[in-house]
Amino acid sequence: MSLVTLLFYVFALLTVGSALGVLLFRNVLYAAFTLLLTFLGLAGLYVLAGADLLAVIQIVIYVGGILVLLVFGVMLTQRTSQEYPASRSHNHLLGLLVAGGLFTLFLIMIVQVNAEHLGWIASASSNAAGQQSTLAGIGLKLMTDAVLPFEVAGILLLIALIGAAYIAGKGQNR
């Protein structure tokens, strides 16, 4: 039996076993963590099938985004019988100034960067031309031509997560 066949059976067993764990666990948090193993097993199967871009998308979107959001949702919505004391923050102005300054600095850096003169981009472009994988080319385009929409999407997702945490925290303080 070859190494690829053995890895296929390992990833298939991991995927099917953890998917059964998602179905059988009564605790939602345990089911979410076995869902993590299911997603990682699928990513391994994608790599073995030669779909490296799908494997990276599987890890970034499903493991890094949807599963983390699911775990946050479970942890934020579970009610406890204990009342936690509300903490008041007194540094709103300082936090706003620091966040605004960092945002301005990052925006200036993104606008003024000249991607053609960076050495690692030139070497990545020459390496991506000789490879069969499309992952390097897509990553290079994402980090050069589409960096501003990529960062804006990340900031919008962060704002949505902070808003969800705020709304969930309001519900617990009733």
Euclidean distance between CA atoms 32 and 23, whole angstroms:
10
Q: What is the pTM of this model?
A: 0.53
Expressed as residue numbers, the domain containing 128 is 102-174
Contact indicator for 40, 46 with CB cutoff of 8 Å: no
Nearest-CA neighbor of 22 among 42, 6, 7? Answer: 42
- Per residue in 70-97, pLDDT tens? 877 777 776 555 554 444 666 778 888 9
Residue 91 located in a structural domain: no
* CATH code of residue 28: 1.20.120.1200
Which two tokens mark 112?
């003024």
84 in any annotated domain: no
Supply the pLDDT for residue 73. Answer: 77
Domain tally for the chain?
A: 2
